[in-house]
Amino acid sequence: MKKLITLFVLLALCICVRAQKKDTVKTVSSADSLMNSLSADDDKHQKTLATFSATRLIFSPTTETVKKNNLNFLVIHRFGDVGTPTGGPRTFFGLDAVNDVYIGFEYGITDNLQVMVGRSTIGQIGETQLKYAILHQTSDNSSPLGITLLGGEGIRPYGSFGSFSDRLSYIGEAIFSRKFSSALSLEVLPIFVQNNQQIPDLPGNEQGFFSLAAAGRLKVTKHMSLLVDYEHPFSNYSTKANGFEDPLGFGAEFETGGHVFTLNITNARAVSQINTLSASQASYGNGQFRFGFTISRMFDFNHKKDTEKKW
Partner 1 sequence: MKYLSILLLAWLPFARAGQDIYICKNAKINIYSSAPVEDIEANSTNVVSVYNATTGEIEFSVLIRTLHFEKALMEEHFNEDYMESDKYPKATFKGVMEQKPDLTKDGEYPVKVTGDFEVHGVKQTRTINGTVKVSGNTVTMTSEFMVKCADHHIVIPQVVFHNIAESIRIRVSATYAPYKAN
Q: Does 257 bind partner 1 (CB under 8 A)?
A: yes
Q: How many whole angstroms separate alpha carbon 127 and alpha carbon 272?
A: 9
Name the residue among 84, 89, 107, 121 with its Cα closest to residue 271.
121
Name the residue among 109, 180, 184, 187 with its Cα closest to residue 148.
187
Q: Does 141 bind partner 1 (CB under 8 A)?
A: no
CB of 146 to partner 1, least distance (A): 14
Nearer to partner 1, 65 or 276 (CB): 65
Question: 264 near 290, Cβ under 8 Å?
Answer: no
Q: Which of 1, 5, 21, 241 contacts partner 1 by CB under 8 A? A: 21
Q: Does 311 bind partner 1 (CB under 8 A)?
A: yes
Instruction: Please report the DSSP string for 1-18 in residue order.
Output: -HHHHHHHHHHHHHHHHH
Nearer to partner 1, 18 or 90 (CB): 18
Nearer to partner 1, 85 or 257 (CB): 257
Q: Does 35 bind partner 1 (CB under 8 A)?
A: yes
CB of 11 to partner 1, least distance (A): 6
Question: 163 near 244, Cβ under 8 Å?
Answer: no
Q: Does 46 bind partner 1 (CB under 8 A)?
A: yes
**Which residues, 166 to 195, sit near partner 1 by CB under 8 A?**
182
Question: 197 near 162, Cβ under 8 Å?
Answer: yes
Residues 6+ apart with CB under 8 A from 71: 105, 106, 107, 108, 298, 299, 301
How many of the chain's residues bind partner 1 (CB under 8 A)?
47
- List Cβ<8 Å contacts ≥24 apart for 303-309: none
Q: How many whole angstroms separate alpha carbon 169 and alpha carbon 179?
A: 32
Q: Which of 141, 160, 222, 241 contacts partner 1 by CB under 8 A? A: 222
The residues binding partner 1 (CB under 8 A) are 3, 6-7, 10-11, 13-14, 17-18, 20-21, 23-24, 27-28, 30-32, 34-35, 38-39, 42-43, 46, 48-50, 67-68, 70, 111, 139, 182, 222-223, 256-258, 298, 300, 302, 304-305, 307, 309, 311
